[in-house]
Amino acid sequence: MRRGIAAAVVVAALTISASACSGGSSGSDSSGPVTITWWDTSDATNEAGTYKSLIKDFEKANPDLKVKYVSVPFGDAQTKFQTAAGSKGAPDVLRADVGWTPGFAKAGYLAPLNDTPAAAEAQTFEPGLIKQAEYESKLYGIPQVTDTLGLMYNKELFAKAGITEAPGTWSELKSDMAKVKDKTGADGFAFNPQGYYVMPFLFGEGADMVDAGNNTITLNSPAAVKGVDTLQGILAAPGARKLDTTSNAYANIMDAFSTGKVAAIIQGPWENANVFKGSAFKDKTNLGIAPVPKGSKAQGAPLGGHNLVAYAGSDAAHQEASQKFIAFMTSKASQEKVALANGTLPTRPDAYTAEVVKNPGIAGYQGLLSAGVPRVALPEYSSLYTPLETQLIKIVSGQEGTKSGLDKAAAEAKRLLPGYSTS
């Protein structure tokens, strides 16, 4: 899963026409099985083994089909797929971040999955996840794993500070982190200054990066400014960990939290397994998971995850095989196996079996999914994180004012969305 935010969509690649997407699928001789290629972007160390095992199960159940497994680092996969699709060499199936799906669909790289075996059980998936696998009313992906952001907290540190429940608002978080620092010596809260992690502050004020319905960039709207100012206030308050803007910030924050040096962070379920390896969470029940605190108008966190998508350039035989493979890999049984082995969240309610929800990390985040905010089905949406993050770091570091920084972020966003106005 995500260990940082994916590289921005290379917008120029979106202009490559669908005519470039022909051929390039894995070959097979006429008498042998059809072999499809799957690019898996999961964690090669902690997650890939489970998917390789599922491939064996799939091939056993479908002796006329074979799967060539290729592990592709998540941070490289978006650009690699764009390049491969443009030169007719893309894999038949890709594990794609939900934010990539609209852009790939617009470019003509993906085959619609409506009314195919891949989508036969689409009605059993979380509706919000299906929504962000669609583009212009067509389904281009089947959700394989999902995630959202929540407040991870150390129950023991909270108890020592006299805190009996997770903070429900940002002001309560400020109060709680000061208590933790005063009573335990640990930092009360640490923030990862990446664009994705600021979204709960925007959502809390009723803002987003864009208003697609009105073709407006809202990164610099009064609501967005208020959201970032709220974050600024938290980071300047007693009990906040000193802001880390180094290239190792993500790893440093996770290490501090998992070893009990920080009491609370905003994080997603892809870190469950790593948190449980930390000294502070040898007892897994010490991990608290709560919704992100509320802003003045709302409460919300982005829905994330990965879809399995099929390359539009594959021939009919490989398309059919890809559809069967996607259906198998997103089935109830497969999702249950992945959840039990990898600790990630299924995308369909029937896969949250009694055995799966014994994992407190999965059980905790399952309850947050219904409040998750689906990503806007805009091909350029994921690219907007880059200008937001660039200015966010300057703002929280004191190098730029909130409004002026967000104005600059909006100006950069307009380069990606020339037909949009700014707030």
pLDDT digits (tens, 9 = 90+) for 89-114: 899 999 999 999 999 999 999 999 99
Indicate the residue among 332, 356, 373 that finishes a domain: 373
Residue appearing with tokens 């479908």: 62
Regarding whether 165 and 266 lie in a shared domain, the answer is yes
CB-CB neighbours of 248 under 10 Å: 9
Residues 93 and 237 in one domain: no
pLDDT on residue 164? 96
Cβ pair 14, 379 in contact under 8 A: yes
Condensed to tens digits (0 to 9), the pLDDT of residues 224-275 reads 999 999 999 999 999 999 999 999 999 999 999 999 999 999 999 989 888 9
pLDDT at 159: 98
pLDDT of residue 87: 84
Q: Say yes or no: 34 and 155 in one domain.
A: no
Alpha helices for 112-167 (secondary structure H): 127-131, 155-160
Is 41 inside a domain boundary? Answer: yes
Question: Using one digit for the tens of pLDDT, what is the confidence trace for 165-210?
Answer: 999 999 999 999 999 999 999 999 999 999 999 999 999 999 999 9
What amino acid occupies position 232?
Answer: Q
Residue 374: phi and psi, rounded to 5, are -60, 145
Shared domain for 205 and 111, answered yes or no, is no
The answer to whether the beta carbons of residues 413 and 384 sit under 8 Å apart is yes
What is residue 31's predicted lDDT score, i.e. its pLDDT?
62
Residues 167 and 249 in one domain: yes
Q: Look at residue 1 and tell me whether its pLDDT is greater than 90.
A: no
Give the number of other CB atoms < 10 A from CB of residue 16: 16
Phi, psi torsion values for 43, nearest 5 degrees:
-60, 115
Residues 358, 383: one domain? Answer: no
Tell me, yes or no, whether 38 and 174 share the same domain: no
Report the distance separating Cα 372 and Cα 268, nearest Å.
12
- pLDDT (0 to 100) of residue 63: 97
Range of 69's domain?
A: 11-146+305-373
Residue 4 has pLDDT above 50, yes or no: no
* Average pLDDT along the chain: 92
Q: Indicate whether 206 and 254 sit together in one domain.
A: yes
| Band of pLDDT at residue 332, cut at 50, 70 and 90 | very high
> How far is 417 from 423, CA to CA, in rounded Å?
13
pLDDT digits (tens, 9 = 90+) for 74-93: 999 999 999 999 887 899 99
> Do the domain assignments include residue 2?
no
Cα–Cα nearest to 145, from 341, 338, 291? 338
297 shares a domain with 269: yes
> How many domains are contained in the chain?
2
Q: How many helices (H) and strands (E) does the chain have?
A: 15, 14
Q: Residue 4 falls within a domain, yes or no? A: no
Backbone dihedral angles phi then psi of residue 139, each to the nearest 5 degrees:
-90, 120
Give the pTM: 0.86
Tell me, yes or no, whether 80 and 203 share the same domain: no
Pair 30, 71 in one domain = yes
Q: Indicate whether 6 belongs to any domain.
A: no
- The CATH number of the domain holding residue 49 is 3.40.190.10
pLDDT, residue 13, reads 39
| The pLDDT of residue 10 is above 80 | no
Residues 284 and 171 in one domain: yes
